[in-house]
Amino acid sequence: MSIPLLAAHGLSVEIGGRRVAHALDLTIESGQRLAILGCNGAGKSTLLATLAGLREPASGRIELGGSPYAALTPRAAALRRAWLGQMQSDPFGSTVLETALTGRHPHLGRWDWETTRDADLACSALAAVGLAGMEARQIHTLSGGERQRLAIATLFAQAAPLYLLDEPLAHLDLNHQMAVLELFTGAARDCGAGVVMVLHDPALAHRFCDQALLIDGDGHCELGAVDTVLTAEKLSALYGYRLRQFEIDNQRCFVPD
Amino acid sequence: MPDRRRALLVLATLVLLALASFWAALAAGSIPVAATDVLAALLGHDAPGADIVRQLRLPRALAGFACGGLLALAGALMQVLLRNPLADPYILGISGGAGVGALFAIMVGLPTLGIDGLAFAGALGAMFLVFGLAHGDGSWTQTRLLLTGVIVAAGCGALISLMLAIAPEDRLRGMLFWLTGDLGQAASAWPPMLALAIALVLAMPFARELNLLARGLMQAQALGVAVNRLRYAIFLLASLATAASVTTAGSIGFIGLVVPHLVRLVTGNDQRLLLPASALAGGALLMLADTLARTLIAPQQLPVGVLTALIGVPVFLFLLSRQGK
């Protein structure tokens, strides 16, 4: 059996004295897609940042490609997983291409400068998210959705086998939501990438992921195949609002009652 | 796209600018020295005005270059560390601490060495105070660091005002000159020159990591930067560079704030180019400002800090108004 891209054993995560996850076991194999769903403030981002090795868990082990984070340098970890944060703040000016090129950082030595190959990779990543031709634009002239797609292009330039995405669809219009989800599921299907994403739309989670993790905010988590976990009954309890479920052309839809 | 060849071109241009500024600093003054005589003096030959060039103007020009370079470099580093374009080398209280030390030394009548020694001790004291307090519970966030620094700076400011209020009349002028910055008090140009060289050599290997740090702590960490270690190192480096400059020439204002912004306008925000370019531009600008300070109403000298501020304030306001659009 191959080593999973990400494995968590007995993981407990706490923030501000509140328990987000307790004794959670989780593995992401090559090609797997996991959706994390929960109410605002349930701790989805905290859990994701913990899985990305950006904050310490309260207890438990996390292994990235078989090695705990403590055994990996930040750069080695960056070659194994890419993380998309929720907030892109840019106090200083920069161009779109320069920003996408930051994804190449872990691939470059200390004294290396980006080569034309790095620039080509960054440009094709930009083209993949529909930002072709905007390489020279200043980032503070971008719209929220364009800035989000640039952050996603930076992730593709990083070319790590595991993507940890905190609300990848934030600020995106419907067209780009679908395009981005198809990009990541395509990377999982064609390149064997693992994808973990925090989503707010259970129908999209059902359509684009094979596993789902529901976080209720009290430390209780439920993990399983999307077909068993993403049901009207469980989601109604999760969000505290009654949902109705429909099947249209084998796709599950959820409509607020 | 970041390009090494373009970076070298920009740096070569700035080297020429610094050389022009250096030449002006050696030639201009109450006794003008011709270009050929300046060259002869530098080569150790005898020429009219050679002693003035070698003994008075050369050390002062070198000290000016070193202090300007140190301040601009420290400013660029602080702006990345705090992720705040309005940060400058003095924002975390380093110059305040140095000021308390230096003014106390002047007030009690210590010689130059004592003033420099106490100024450096004060700068180090402020640095460790801010570091210890900001580090506190281990969170070491940008806001906490900034707040601690600003509070320590305010405390130092109060002590400085107190000393100015109680100092004897005949010491006041020296104290005021120290506060606004004065290259005439530089004892030797070599310590700050050495500090500038060391600071650049230490900072440059981390330049690309600083680019990521400027974009956010977690982003940088996720992209493979050992963020906490880098931030400690940058804090210490920027503080020591500031301390070296302030000890040499007092708290010269605006170089550390304005020069990185001026350079950014031309080169963009790639630290691999921004750091050495800021050091060169800061050095060139301070040498020029000091030459003006010596010559504008010669034989009387103006404090160079007044001139850098007089140049710096309008330039900075102009940049700020442009940024809003």
Residue A229 in domain: yes
- A119 contacts on B by Cβ (under 8 Å): 1
Using the beta-carbon criterion (under 8 Å), do B1 and A52 form an inter-chain contact?
no
Minimal Cα–Cα distance from B1 to chain A, Å? Answer: 6
Are the C-beta atoms of B87 and B81 separated by less than 8 Å?
A: yes
Q: Which residues are CB-contacts of A185 (< 8 A; sequence separation ≥ 6)? A: A33, A195, A208
- Separation CA B234–CA B140 (nearest Å): 13
Residue A95 in domain: yes
Using left for φ > 0, alpha for ψ between -120 and 50, and beta otherwise, residue B31 falls in beta
pLDDT-derived band at B310 (thresholds 50, 70, 90) equals: confident
Looking at the partner chain, which of A49, A79, A90 has a beta carbon nearest the beta carbon of B215?
A90
Using the beta-carbon criterion (under 8 Å), do A85 and B216 form an inter-chain contact?
yes
> Which of A62-76, A130-144, B52-66, B301-315 bottoms out in mean pLDDT, i.e. has the lowest?
B301-315
Find, in chain B, the residue whose alpha carbon is nearest to that of A102.
Answer: B212
Is the pLDDT at B170 greater than 60, yes or no?
yes
**Structural domain of A189:** 6-256
- A106 contacts on B by Cβ (under 8 Å): 223-224
Q: Which residues of B touch chain A, with CB atoms under 8 Å apart? A: 1-4, 79, 83-85, 205, 208-209, 211-212, 214-216, 218-219, 221-227, 264, 268-270, 272
Is the pLDDT at B308 greater than 90, yes or no?
no
The predicted complex's ipTM stands at: 0.92
Find, in chain A, the residue whose alpha carbon is nearest to that of B265.
Answer: A93
**pLDDT, average across residues A92-112:** 94
Residue A239 in domain: yes
pLDDT of residue A145: 94
- B1 contacts on A by Cβ (under 8 Å): 97-98, 101, 114, 119
- Separation CA A157–CA A122 (nearest Å): 5
- Separation CA B217–CA A176 (nearest Å): 27
Using the beta-carbon criterion (under 8 Å), do B216 and A93 form an inter-chain contact?
no
Give the pairing of strands A251-256 and A243-248. antiparallel
Looking at the partner chain, which of A73, A89, A93 has a beta carbon nearest the beta carbon of B216?
A89
- B269 contacts on A by Cβ (under 8 Å): 92-94
**Average pLDDT score, chain A:** 94
Helix (H) / strand (E) element for B60: namely helix B58-81
**Average pLDDT score, chain B:** 89
Is the pLDDT at A87 greater than 80, yes or no?
no
Residue A228 in domain: yes
- A69 contacts on B by Cβ (under 8 Å): none
Q: How far is CA B101 from the centre of its chain?
A: 18
pLDDT of residue B107: 92
Residue A1 in domain: no
pLDDT, tens digit, for every residue of B187-219?
A: 788 999 999 999 999 999 999 999 999 999 999
- A87 contacts on B by Cβ (under 8 Å): 216
Using left for φ > 0, alpha for ψ between -120 and 50, and beta otherwise, residue B111 falls in beta
- B208 contacts on A by Cβ (under 8 Å): 105, 108, 110
In chain A, pLDDT over 90 holds for what percent of residues? Answer: 90
- A103 contacts on B by Cβ (under 8 Å): 223
pLDDT of residue B182: 84
Using the beta-carbon criterion (under 8 Å), do B219 and A85 form an inter-chain contact?
yes
pLDDT of residue B325: 46
All structural domains of chain B, each given as residue ranges with its CATH number in brackets, are 4-323 (1.10.3470.10)
Are the C-beta atoms of B307 and B289 separated by less than 8 Å?
A: yes
Looking up residue A187, the CATH number of its domain turns out to be 3.40.50.300
Find, in chain B, the residue whose alpha carbon is nearest to that of A93.
Answer: B269
pLDDT, tens digit, for every residue of B65-85?
A: 999 999 999 999 999 999 988
φ, ψ for residue A115, nearest 5 deg: -95, 175
- Separation CA B36–CA B208 (nearest Å): 43
Report the side by side order of strands in the sheet with A67-68.
A18-28, A6-15, A59-64, A67-68
The structure tokens listed for B49 are: 């005005």
Residue A204 in domain: yes
Find, in chain A, the residue whose alpha carbon is nearest to that of B273.
Answer: A113
Residue A183 in domain: yes
Q: Using omega within 30 degrees of 0 as the cis cutoff, is the peptide bond preceding B205 cis?
A: no
B311 CB-contact burial (10 Å; exposed 0-12 / middle 13-18 / buried 19+): middle
Query: How many domains does chain A contain in total?
Result: 1
- A88 contacts on B by Cβ (under 8 Å): 216
- Interchain CB contact of A93 with B (< 8 Å): yes
**pLDDT, average across residues B20-24:** 95
Determine which of A46, A80, A92 to mutate to test the interface with B (most B C-beta atoms within 10 Å): A92
pLDDT of residue B245: 94
pLDDT-derived band at B323 (thresholds 50, 70, 90) equals: low
Give the residue from A187, A159, A184, A157 showing the smallest Cα distance to A169: A184
Using the beta-carbon criterion (under 8 Å), do A111 and B214 form an inter-chain contact?
no
pLDDT-derived band at B136 (thresholds 50, 70, 90) equals: low
